[in-house]
Structure 1
Amino acid sequence: MALQLDVERVRAQFPALGRTYRGQQVVYFDGPGGSQVCQAAIDAVSHYMSSGGANLHGVFPTSVETEALLAQTRHSVGCLLNAAEEEVAFGPNMTTLTFAISRALAREWQPGDEIIVTELDHRANVDPWRRAAEDKGVVVKWLTVHPTTLTLNVDELDELLTPRTRVVAVGLASNAVGTVTDVRAIADKAHAVGAWVAVDAVHAAPHIPIDRDALGADILLCSAYKFFAPHVGIAAIRRDLFEALDVYKLDPAPSFIPDKLETGTQNHAGIAGVGAAISYLSTLGEGPTLREKLVSALETIEAYEDTLAWRMREGIRELPGVHLYAAPHSIRKTPTIAFTVDGVPSREVCRRMVDDYGLFIADGDFYATTLAHKLGVQASGGFVRAGLAPYNTNLEVDAFLDALARVVSSLR
């Protein structure tokens, strides 16, 4: 049974929540684009920089301390994702890491090989694979999304997969509409034909417990700026694949994992913030190990956010002229709510919400361009998207619904 989230305790750890705009208290519903940063992460970044940072492999204290910091943060990330710490690599962001991994894997591809990407995904888990496929003469196949249920048509894999399929790239959760995909079912089918499975967990990581191996992911990627930390990309790659991966790197750079994927000097101060954010996250759960505390914390967050998301979705459904894009009630979802207003550009809705009420929401396709085109929302400027985080409250949701009703009434 999940713990009860003490939201006021959580809010006290996010100094950005005290911001005002045009004399109004700001409300952050832009979490899907990046969460606010917790005080522990801010302090860790500041401490690292003020104590003296350094590059690696030196005998002097700041270099030794930096290496220890990276090792400790790898351990923490491994606990978050259920991966060994040596399987965890850092980078500028998930997109850059995915391009590096796709290029490396593609070195072994032959013309006529195949990859599969999906219509539900953010393009960061589509285009790095598609570009690599184009370079090598590899066939790109698409797993389609059902336009009503907003779920992937997984049964299509029985026809799409062949012995020449090299990679299946799939998102754990949609950053646009929140649908959580049954990745394990996809991975089992992919592995049966010898394909690797690359999972984009960027949007899922702040909201649900993640177990890379239980998902059947060979490559799992996420970004720490989605879960209360600075901008750092993370890849957790299965050891056998990682060790065989022929990455593009400088000749003198390490050839062992995980260092061989980490081209150039990493963002050490940011990585300090990642470790601190995970440590903070663990305080919201319970258990004898860091892994168990993190799983408990994310179960607690998911239960809390689900109640807020249900309240927001049901309120939106009652508004005339507003179209909600959400999977059916029975489908697991992150607390990401996408909608459009008939006849009103999505940007204008966002502008009125922030200028008149201090509510930060976003508009666009959010790089889920295939889904946006399929749903026909591009003409209005894409979706309006509001996302919830554990620092949001019922009162904020009610304020959002009241403001949206006023804005819609005035614009239509």
Structure 2
Amino acid sequence: MTFNVTDLRSHFPSLATGVAHFDAPGGTQTPRAVGEAIARTLTGPLSNLGGEGIRSEVNAEDAIAAFRAAYSDLLGVPEDGIVYGRSATQLNYDFSRTLAKKWQPGDEVVVSRLDHDANVRPWVQAAEAVGAEVRWIDFDPATAEVTWESVEAAIGPRTRLVAITAASNLLGTKPPVRAIADAAHAVGALVHVDAVHYAAHNLVDVPALGADLLVCSPYKFLGPHCAVLTASPQLLETLTPDKLVPSSDAVPERFEFGTLPFEILAGATAAVDFLAQIAPGDALSRRERLRASFHALEEHEMRLRKRLEEGLAGFGDAVVVHSRAADRTPTMFLTLRGRRTWDAYEFLATKDVLAPAGSFYAYEAYHRLNLDDPDGLRLGLAPYVDDDDVSRFLAGLAAFLAS
């Protein structure tokens, strides 16, 4: 199944600026339908939740229900296992503190040097607060692959939780999440998967990944700024967060603090519906339409990634690509020999090409690479990136290297 990228781009008002966007791992551009859903819900009528059936109250309830249904379909989980959050960082902090109530000195928590710091520091700090020990899953900087020896060394009888990314936001590496989850479950540990980067490029299947808890962020796949956590309702029932006394104790509401932003929920729902309409084929269910669309998107993005890789190879040893894992997303992290990537970022911006430089909150991964350049250039593809964008980036980088 293929799709027409020119038609797709027409749904994104921001692309009229002419900027070639390679900044998708930090947040994608947003289609018109998502903005319209936000505006439509916000202008209502809209009220806080109530029990009298007034239209404005019903609209709020409908926004919540539609949100849970949409992310149930996107992630392949029950609707009552969907928790709204302001960000993945916020959700990880909330759940790390809640889970840590059951940890004690001598317990072990496993984190990964491949991860965004949002899936590292909350767990490390929660472990430290209760006297639990922290163990590390490592990766090989030469290959950007997780080393299985470090997995075996990190997970043991005292492991209570393993936090692992489904795809590195810096390098694109997809570690063997299911194998890691199986090793964790064999010793009775929970597995928390950060799918923030992964969900932008692959249809998430929570049971297939073996995740007990999983987070993703709609603004990485065409939606508004918010996040989603999913876990089985049975697991959520065992967790007791700190919350206000009058607030609901029902699952999943007990983990959603304060009044929800109903308009953001509507925008996040619209993003799922937009994805499902990209290349749906003859599928009837939204889940199957999403599967077909993600398949088409993956083919499109991987073809463009190959073009980028071939183009970068043409620069010889002037460009060092650190994204080398066999299985990875269409995200590439590179440095330039003898040149600062921050200078390249600024130069490309003058050509209306946005390819950001930095370490992108992947604190452990960046330091594990032991780079001389204080920054690196990250190229991230999205559904709306086309061949002209790729050509403009390669031409812009060539001009920078020649300057």
Report SS of the residue matched to 1:281. helix
Is 2:378 aligned against 1:385?
yes
Q: Could you tell me which residue of structure 1 aligns to residue 84 of structure 2? A: 90
Query: What is the 5 A alignment of 1:287-306?
Result: 287-306=283-302
Matched residues in 2 for 1:26 and 1:143: separation? 38
Matched residues in 2 for 1:292 and 1:255: separation? 33
Cα deviation digits, residues 253-275 of structure 1 (max 9, x gap): 11111101101112211111011
Higher deviation after alignment, 150-159 or 177-186: 150-159
Q: Conserved in 2, the CA contact under 8 Å of 1:363 and 1:381?
A: no
Matched residues in 2 for 1:314 and 1:54: separation? 54
Q: Could you tell me which residue of structure 2 aligns to residue 34 of structure 1? A: 27
Query: What is the 5 A alignment of 1:81-230?
Result: 81-230=75-224
What is the count of residue pairs matched by the alignment? 399
Q: Conserved in 2, the CA contact under 8 Å of 1:221 and 1:233?
A: yes
Q: Could you tell me which residue of structure 2 aligns to residue 262 of structure 1? A: 256
Is 2:312 aligned against 1:319?
no
Report SS of the residue matched to 2:333. strand
Percent sequence identity over matched residues? 37
Q: CA deviation at 1:156?
A: 2.6
User: CA RMSD of the aligned region, Å?
Assistant: 1.1
Matched residues in 2 for 1:232 and 1:370: separation? 24
Report SS of the residue matched to 1:205. helix
Matched residues in 1 for 2:47 and 2:313: separation? 53
Matched residues in 1 for 2:178 and 2:12: separation? 35
Q: Conserved in 2, the CA contact under 8 Å of 1:232 and 1:267?
A: no
Matched residues in 1 for 2:156 and 2:234: separation? 22
The 3 A distance-change label for structure 1 pair 53 and 203 is same
Gaps of 5+ in 2: none
Report SS of the residue matched to 2:200. coil
Report SS of the residue matched to 1:380. coil
Matched residues in 1 for 2:202 and 2:68: separation? 20
Cα deviation digits, residues 225-254 of structure 1 (max 9, x gap): 011111111001122211101111111111
Q: Conserved in 2, the CA contact under 8 Å of 1:110 and 1:138?
A: yes
TM-score (norm 2): 0.97
Matched residues in 2 for 1:267 and 1:123: separation? 26
> Counterpart of 2:377 in structure 1: which amino acid?
V
Cα deviation digits, residues 17-76 of structure 1 (max 9, x gap): 001xxxxx2111110100001111011001111223221124221111111111111111
Higher deviation after alignment, 312-321 or 217-226: 312-321
Q: CA deviation at 1:223?
A: 0.6
TM-score (norm 1): 0.95
Matched residues in 2 for 1:217 and 1:187: separation? 7
Matched residues in 1 for 2:148 and 2:248: separation? 39
Q: Could you tell me which residue of structure 2 aligns to residue 16 of structure 1? A: 14
Matched residues in 2 for 1:159 and 1:374: separation? 18
Matched residues in 2 for 1:380 and 1:276: separation? 40
Matched residues in 2 for 1:154 and 1:53: separation? 52
Matched residues in 2 for 1:154 and 1:252: separation? 47
> Counterpart of 2:179 in structure 1: which amino acid?
A
Gaps of 5+ in 1: 20-24
Q: Could you tell me which residue of structure 1 aligns to residue 343 of structure 2? A: 348
